[in-house]
Copies of this chain bind each other. A is one copy, B any other.
């Protein structure tokens, strides 16, 4: 791209030995073309083109491409390698519209100079990644208790962007999870564009993807690692910082996180799910979860937490309606917080009714997209632009409601109801009653009739199990005094040959077992219910 700013160029500067002024890369502008400078920095990567050798240097304030040429395809300055701390004299020029430096002199720094440089870079990065906290969107003690962690997470994410490190956001595959992932996305992408000057950078330095399972699995981790290693090999990318949102706090996530760390990936976890023991904090840069500060995850969802985090990362992130929706979608039991978030959402034109519909459409669409990122489609779902969002909701919501009411009707007719002491056990045999791929998914159908029977039959002690060949998905009312963790322990004691595993919240969870033991497990579930002391 030649736009020719200097017709006489070749004659305007004399090629004397020019005293080069020392400058920070961030201070260089197009005004400086044809000027001579001296820079100290680290060589981030070296690309050998068929023409010159290109050295990418960064000094904490920015990055600049430097060219050394000794012959087509020949490696210039072979003594200079990636990661070296160097001093360069250069003439600033432009190549197809981008600023670059032509090297006239380059050498490695002394140990002392290198130490000074590292300190200067650290200081610069520290300043640039600083977060100015004024207040959260709402007032809540959970946020207050998590404030330091949220600030640290915001700083680490900003730092990754400044260090040209790719970011991967991995989230739970439901409306709260999407809210968590998307609110971070709205904060991060503008900063990446600013850092890299737009262009394709939002795709090169950022990915978001749902997890298939309700945790960050080893499969996810191996795939993320494989892709990151490929990008490192092909494009000299750095290994990423991965933010796990609405997943990540439990024992099940540990191996996946450890696997990524072997390859130089760092992790931040923002979750609100229950865990037995915190094995995650020691293995992440930051771990955020209400349970870590003596609070309950049912009172603050991941989408709510991530929206607050997004505002810390980037106060201009346009996510005001998201925490209310996330909280409603996850049935967060914190009326004051939900009301406060709803009031914020209302100012943007979102009623509670609309937010519930959006959440339902996100749930549905996520089941269609599965592993696709579909970044721009998700933007529409979240209201960019809002008029298309409303059109889409108006189209899909009645369709989904219809599927749900059909699902509920099938489930209601199929459910087997038993009385065990004063507890009602409701069994829904999934495979026998729903075609493969049926929407709503088994867990949701189970939830629908679990809610329904309480209202219809005026019951308060209810346990509902969606029964699959090798798994139960379970819901329980508070008064049923049910604990999936106790159940698992009970089953493993009484029927170890079923190899029961599972987990979840107190009143909602899932267990798996050996298919041939389904009947025995079901019988032992009844025995377990018999054995529990009723709360009343």
A406 lies within 8 A of B499 (CB): yes
Decide yes or no: A512 and B3 within 8 Å by CB, A72-B30, A262-B391, A369-B222 being known contacts.
Answer: no
Complex: chain B residue closest to A264, CB-CB = B388
A433 lies within 8 A of B516 (CB): yes
- A26 at the binding interface (Cβ < 8 Å): no
Q: Which residues of B contact A369 (CB under 8 A)?
A: 222-223, 226
- A79 at the binding interface (Cβ < 8 Å): no
A74 to B97, CA, bound (A): 10
- A368 at the binding interface (Cβ < 8 Å): yes
Chain B: minimal CB distance from A427 (Å): 13
Q: Mark out the residues of chain A between 211 and 256 whose CB falls within 8 Å of any chain B CB in the assembled complex.
A: 218-219, 222-223, 225-226, 229-230, 232-234, 255
Q: Which residues of B contact A93 (CB under 8 A)?
A: 5
A396 to B475, CA, bound (A): 34
Q: Which residues of B contact A94 (CB under 8 A)?
A: 3, 5, 51, 72
Q: Mark out the residues of chain A between 496 and 511 whose CB falls within 8 Å of any chain B CB in the assembled complex.
A: 497, 499
Decide yes or no: A497 and B413 within 8 Å by CB, A51-B96, A368-B218, A514-B433 being known contacts.
Answer: yes
B230 lies within 8 A of A376 (CB): yes
Q: Of residues A50, A52, A391, A392, which shows the largest number of chain B Cβ atoms within 10 Å of its Cβ? A: A50
Q: Which 4 A-B pairs have the closest CB atoms?
A: A51-B97, A229-B376, A1-B97, A3-B69
Chain B: minimal CB distance from A364 (Å): 9
Chain B: minimal CB distance from A433 (Å): 5
Chain B: minimal CB distance from A23 (Å): 17
A-to-B contact residues, CB < 8 Å: 1-12, 30, 33-34, 48-52, 67, 69, 71-74, 93-99, 102, 197-200, 203, 218-219, 222-223, 225-226, 229-230, 232-234, 255, 258-259, 262-263, 365, 368-369, 372, 374-377, 379-380, 388, 391-392, 395-396, 399, 406, 410, 413-414, 429, 431-436, 470-471, 497, 499, 512, 514-516
Chain B: minimal CB distance from A244 (Å): 18
Q: Which residues of B contact A34 (CB under 8 A)?
A: 5
Chain B: minimal CB distance from A141 (Å): 38
Q: Which residues of B contact A48 (CB under 8 A)?
A: 198
Chain B: minimal CB distance from A219 (Å): 5
B229 lies within 8 A of A377 (CB): yes
Decide yes or no: A12 and B1 within 8 Å by CB, A51-B96, A97-B49, A516-B429 being known contacts.
Answer: no
Q: Which residues of B contact A218 (CB under 8 A)?
A: 368
Chain B: minimal CB distance from A83 (Å): 15
Q: Which residues of B contact A429 (CB under 8 A)?
A: 516
Decide yes or no: A8 and B10 within 8 Å by CB, A222-B365, A226-B374, A233-B376 being known contacts.
Answer: yes
A377 lies within 8 A of B12 (CB): no
Complex: chain B residue closest to A15, CB-CB = B7
Q: Which residues of B contact A396 (CB under 8 A)?
A: 259
Chain B: minimal CB distance from A242 (Å): 16
Decide yes or no: A96 and B226 within 8 Å by CB, A5-B34, A259-B395, A470-B435 being known contacts.
Answer: no
Chain B: minimal CB distance from A155 (Å): 28
Q: Of residues A5, A98, A512, which shows the largest number of chain B Cβ atoms within 10 Å of its Cβ? A: A5
B11 lies within 8 A of A52 (CB): no
A219 to B198, CA, bound (A): 32
Decide yes or no: A98 and B376 within 8 Å by CB, A222-B365, A263-B388, A514-B435 being known contacts.
Answer: no
A293 to B471, CA, bound (A): 52
Of the candidates B374, B433, B515, which one forms a contact with A515 in the assembled complex, judged by CB atoms under 8 Å apart?
Answer: B433
A69 to B2, CA, bound (A): 10
What are some 16 contacts across the A-B interface (CB < 8 A)? A2-B97, A3-B102, A4-B10, A8-B8, A8-B10, A33-B72, A49-B97, A72-B99, A218-B368, A219-B368, A229-B374, A229-B379, A262-B392, A413-B497, A434-B514, A435-B515
Complex: chain B residue closest to A396, CB-CB = B259
Chain B: minimal CB distance from A346 (Å): 24
Complex: chain B residue closest to A471, CB-CB = B435
Q: Which residues of B contact A395 (CB under 8 A)?
A: 255, 258-259, 262
Complex: chain B residue closest to A200, CB-CB = B234
B12 lies within 8 A of A10 (CB): no
A62 to B359, CA, bound (A): 44
Chain B: minimal CB distance from A488 (Å): 15
Q: Which residues of B contact A74 (CB under 8 A)?
A: 30
A67 lies within 8 A of B5 (CB): no
Q: Which residues of B contact A470 (CB under 8 A)?
A: 435-436
A324 to B33, CA, bound (A): 59
A95 to B4, CA, bound (A): 11
